[in-house]
């Protein structure tokens, strides 16, 4: 059984992780804009992708990823929109 102290640590870790993902994504986008790039590729592991779907794209439900899941995003004025994806299933 998971005690309360460990549970709180896990919750804090998840919040910190999500914040690092958010900050990192916006930092990469700002750098791309500052350098005049219109297309960039970001390669991540599954938990980063899940964090982006949940906390930036506001997709509710469980995000299941194939081994080679791909998401193409459009970004304008601080807003990300999903253009295309493959290998990703959202379970409600």
The whole-angstrom separation of Cα 52 and Cα 20 is: 11
**pTM recorded for the entire structure:** 0.87
The domain total for the chain is 1
Say how far apart CA 33 and CA 25 lie, in whole Å.
12
Residue 40: domain span: 4-91
Q: Could you tell me how many residues make up the chain?
A: 92
User: Over the stretch 36-81, which tens digit does the pLDDT of each residue have?
Assistant: 999 999 999 999 999 999 999 999 999 999 999 999 999 999 999 9
pLDDT for 55: 96
């Amino acid at each position: 059984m998971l005690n309360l102290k460990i549970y709180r640590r896990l919750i804090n870790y998840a919040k910190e992780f999500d914040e690092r993902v958010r900050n990192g994504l916006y930092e990469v986008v700002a750098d791309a804009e500052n350098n005049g790039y219109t297309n960039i590729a970001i390669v991540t592991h599954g938990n980063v992708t899940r964090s982006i779907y949940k906390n930036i794209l506001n997709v509710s439900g469980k995000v299941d990823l194939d081994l080679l899941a791909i998401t193409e995003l459009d970004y304008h004025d601080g807003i990300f929109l999903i253009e295309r994806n493959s290998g990703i299933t959202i379970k409600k």
